[in-house]
Structure 1
């Protein structure tokens, strides 16, 4: 395991995606709102998702220079999307949102973690 990402570009791309995803959580489009409602996530807590995503994006960027921070943020994103997938399965909300958005992001986050920090 390396504590600094190599290569760096996938980490930067993931940080941009997660930051944008966090922005969308503040005023979610219908598809995201339906997804959060579909898994039973309370509307009063939607702001927490944005904060988590902003912190993850900041951790990925800081981890370019600070050893271990990017790896921790990347691992945290894998855990976050694994929990999101579990919530989808538990709620039996396994339509397009689950397959494309949730599992898609889980695969992307896992790939960045493996190829930038483990290999």
Structure 2
């Protein structure tokens, strides 16, 4: 690669698509991700345990992941089970890491390390 560095700002479903494309051409990709999501698993975690909604950040981490096995794990969504149905495993991992390391920032950083 040619030392290209790129930055993308956004959220939702479009940002991960852009990041996947950017990483083919850039040596360093940085994403500034909106945390305004309040639906699905992210919304439930936001309401139930008071963390920032992790879904859009998780999708961006997965889009940039080197470890495809871990990326698959982070995209797994539970289909059944009282309380867990509809939750995305990556969101739960980020929530657990946030609790373990004391801040959402550290939880996301550790999730990034897991995904390489």
TM-score by length of 1: 0.31
Task: Specify which structure has the bigger relative contact order, considering alpha-carbon pairs within 8 angstroms and separated by 6 or more residues.
Answer: 1
Larger helix proportion, structure 1 or 2?
1
Larger strand proportion, structure 1 or 2?
2
